[in-house]
Amino acid sequence: MPTLRVLYYHIVWDAKQRSLTGRQHMNALEFADMPTTQQEMQVTKERVSKVAIGTISALLVVKIVAAILTGSIGLAADAIHSLIDLTGAVIGFFGVRIAGKPPDERHRFGHGRAEDIAGASIATLIFIAAGIIAYEAIHRLISGATVQMVETGIFATAIAIAINMSVARYVLTIAKASDSVALEATGRDLMADVMSSVAVLVGLILVRAAGEPLLDPIVALLVVVLIIRTAAGTMRKAISNLMDTELPEEEVQAIQDMLAGKKSIANYHALRTRKAGSQRYIQVHIVVPRNKTVEEGHQIAEDMEDDIRALFHGSAVTIHVEPCTPDCAECPTPCENPTDRSKPQ
């Protein structure tokens, strides 16, 4: 499996090459000519999604069989959760695949929103899973609970936890390295499944030790709380991107620090940022000495765009160039009065 270290070097190498200096839009031919590391990252994201789908499918079969054999509401709820996980993983896979497509005539800014939509959809499915589990648990508490072949349930659940934990950590590692909202949602969904299975395991162990079947649905209700918490975090991030929320404070600060350190510009303002999937969009107006030619001003903007892309891999950067005022109050040259450029105007 690709490791975080390998993916990190892919990202850093690609950023140093600054392969995305073709401005704002890329057509299909330009996308095909991108460095293999960018394409490999997309392939890796799709492969990880497939691994998640395969794992969830196999575990779903195990949980269904165990639930039928034991009659455990906890295992049945866990199986339902895995079924919804499978649906979410499939949605995540298509979200990643669509988001990886290059911009086209109808989608000039690319397809990055597909990952955010997939993330919100997966979060919705997690909420549904929590509702189903809560309903079944309450129903079993009212009507009475019976659990058979507890040892079988304990064994099956322990195996599911070990496998799910490994795959979830793998998916979240790749999600972090590739900055993928859809993969992160899939990983969080798998971690919710792990928490669900742990609670089921605890419930079965308590039933085995105390001989009280009602402990099984009670533990299932505790699982619901954990699942809702996970779903809320996933939904919050996806909705934040869909609403064009500004980039995190530390990322905006990194951009401001870079701009403030540029002696080739007098000042900057109108810094705006947003994110769609793993794609960052950054816009800013820069003020350059008025005696610069159009070509010189354009080159300054080009260099700054490259520097921002080096900070944030593959970001789409748009810089508007403005001349300084006639009184030269903003000019950074030694012969004139420089101003504090540590903050935007």
- Summarised one tens digit per residue, pLDDT across range 63-101 is 888 888 877 766 777 787 788 888 888 988 888 888 777
Instruction: Give the C-alpha separation, 150 to 143, whole Å.
Output: 20
Written as tens digits, the pLDDT of the chain (345 aa) is 443 333 333 333 333 333 333 333 344 433 443 334 667 777 888 888 888 899 889 888 888 888 888 777 667 777 877 888 888 889 888 888 887 777 778 877 777 778 788 888 888 888 887 887 788 778 777 776 566 677 777 888 888 888 888 898 889 888 888 778 788 888 888 887 887 788 778 877 877 777 766 777 777 787 788 778 878 887 887 888 788 778 888 889 999 988 888 888 888 888 998 887 777 889 999 888 888 888 888 899 888 888 888 888 778 898 999 888 766 555 555 434 444 444 444
- CA distances to 128, 135, 251 from 138, rounded to whole Å, are 16, 5, 45
- Give the rounded distance of the alpha carbon of 184 from its chain centre: 4
**Residue-by-residue DSSP string for 27-68:** -HHHHHTS-HHHHHHHHHHHHHHHHHHHHHHHHHHHHHHHHH
3-state secondary structure 108-174: CCCCCHHHHHHHHHHHHHHHHHHHHHHHHHHHHHHHCCCCCCHHHHHHHHHHHHHHHHHHHHHHHHH
Domains of the chain: 4-242 (1.20.1510.10), 249-323 (3.30.70.1350)
Residues 6+ apart with CB under 8 A from 29: none
- Give the rounded distance of the alpha carbon of 21 from its chain centre: 25
- Give the rounded distance of the alpha carbon of 78 from its chain centre: 24
Which strand (E) or helix (H) includes residue 191? helix 181-210
- CA distances to 27, 29, 278 from 103, rounded to whole Å, are 6, 11, 14
- Summarised one tens digit per residue, pLDDT across range 207-219 is 777 776 677 777 7
Instruction: Give the C-alpha separation, 2 to 5, whole Å.
Output: 8
